[in-house]
Chain A
């Protein structure tokens, strides 16, 4: 069974700081990897999707990378804002989606 791991489990940073969230997976036969944001008690908001043939994707202040050979993906958030506070989940698509346990981000004003 594929495993998707996220570190750190929680992260607290001051506003304005750049930060990196990590996601690792055990199977390189990945179709794509998706990053999501989840606010407390809410559903998922898709942030970025990286296909297996791509190295990175960017949307605004977010940049996600994918390295299949090492089984790693990172989500880079530039100039963090308090509104970025949420839990960030990565999910690998191995013909089924497997989710990491998430990183709970708190951006302090």
Chain B
């Protein structure tokens, strides 16, 4: 069964601090994504990657960096966390063929105080 594992599942961070959210997939998928979910906005794409050592900007990349050190791992980095980045973050993976199912992790609830 396809699996996407996120860590931590929840985190409280201080404004101005650095936060790293991690994602690991065992699906042998090339594509990985980071989405953020806010009430009333659905899911919005932050960064994505289609190959190791390469990342692309999504629709709302400002304030975020991403790292794809291997096919299995994809991290989201908040260098200077801000209150507005309080949200639930989802990692996802999928195969190369268009229309292939996208599998999501269980999410990381980030609270910036």
Please say whether chains A and B are actual partners in one complex.
no
